[in-house]
Amino acid sequence: MKIRNILVAALAVVALTGCSQKEDYTWVKNGIDRATSQLLWTAEEIGETGKIPRSTWAGYDEQMLERQLNREFATFKDSLRKKAAPEMMGKRRLATVYDWTSGFFPGSLWYAYEFTGREDVKAAAEKFTNLLLPVSHYTKTHDLGFMINCSYGNALRLAPCDTIPEVIVRTADNLCGRFDKEIGCIRSWDFGEWNFPVIIDNMMNLDLLFSASKLSGNPYYAEVAKIHANTTMKHHFREDMTSYHVVSYNPDGTVERKQTHQGQSDDSAWARGQAWGVYGYAACYRETGDEAYLAQAVKIADMIMSRVTTEDAIPYWDYDAPESEETPRDASAAAVTACALLEMSTMVEDGEKYFAYAEKILKSLSSDAYLAAEGTNEGFVLMHSTGSLPHGSEIDVPLNYADYYYLEALQRYMNLVGITYAEL
């Protein structure tokens, strides 16, 4: 695999020559300090509930949804989630370990431990990671990568234990159980009227399979990941490189239908879906060296950078949503994109432009506009993410996966510029 580190080399030259002013990284330290404080506060408050913090409870305004979706309320009212009780609004929303987001909170704790080296953070990370052990026997979701790779995967990296590889490989076996050889994809959802739905999010679960191949020495897991990535590349993307959210397949592998379940319309560019795509293909290139995956990631990244119109680079929840003050942002999409572009900056000739865009995103997320003050935001790190606006679900709220990818992006950024928390 040809990996280019032009950016890192350039930074090293600057450091050696001393020809430029020292960069101010106080925003990085502030982000880490606030995140660590918020995560520990949350861990303490949750205590022994056995639950995972997911978001906060929020309602929705029907007229605002009409404007965002450019549709009359009657056309989508049956898809809306039931509103939470008034007394729950704004309070922390907890989830079970079988929720698709369960791996992100322990994963965030692992990143906080990596930054700070604090033993109390490590203890919390271990505690919440261990809660997810039953997930390694779970077969009813495609999101096993999110759930186990973000938790146990980071645990293996930062606190190796001889029982962790077994957890990862067993989980990968369950994920492969959802693979259909004729279709060439891993099935996503088990609900709805689709025959065999595959969502762009599923690109994020392939890292688990690559990890399992390396841990077990069995190439099958990686082969499944590559076949899924190839099928998704063929059918999920439009000519302008925006992605559908859902592609459903017939039993013979032909396409049943394409749509965008969590976006403005079937033909719109749902912001987080675009982020899942660029991250997933950059990761596939990292693991395989296949230039087709890098080319795909580059095309998606260039599309994102041309389509996001906000001054701070934090996208609206859908690229085709109205550009107005009331339109919700999606900090989670921004954080995922930053992670992908930082990795891509080491892979291509013109990597500096991807690094600069990711840095802009990170500085925006680290500002008071998005980074919560300590003791607020129900213990979450970032504000202003959007889960599923067409369903009236988690609109303009904190989301645990926004926090996770923000911290992952900070870790990648610090590695690239060659700084450690102790030096800040």
For the question of residue 143 being annotated catalytic, the response is yes
Catalytic residue among 143, 318, 320, 396: 143
SS3 readout for the chain: CCCCCHHHHHHHHHHHHCCCCCCCCHHHHHHHHHHHHHHHHHHHHHCCCCCEEEEECCCCCHHHHHHHHCCCHHHCHHHCCCCCCHHHCCCEEEECCCCCCCCHHHHHHHHHHHHHCCHHHHHHHHHHHHCCHHHHHCCCCCCHHHHHHHHHHHHHHHCCCCCHHHHHHHHHHHHHCCEECCCCEECCCCCCCCCCEEEHHHHHHHHHHHHHHHHHCCCHHHHHHHHHHHHHHHHCECCCCCECCEEEECCCCCEEEEECCCCCCCCCCEHHHHHHHHHHHHHHHHHHCCHHHHHHHHHHHHHHHHHCCCCCCCCECECCCCCCCCCCECHHHHHHHHHHHHHHCCCCCCHHHHHHHHHHHHHHHCCCCCECCCCCHHHCCECCEEEEHHHCEEEEECEHHHHHHHHHHHHHHHHHHCCCHHHC
Q: Among 99, 201, 207, 330, which one carries the catalytic annotation?
A: 201
Q: Is 320 labeled as catalytic in the residue annotation?
A: no
Q: Which residues are catalytic?
A: 143, 201
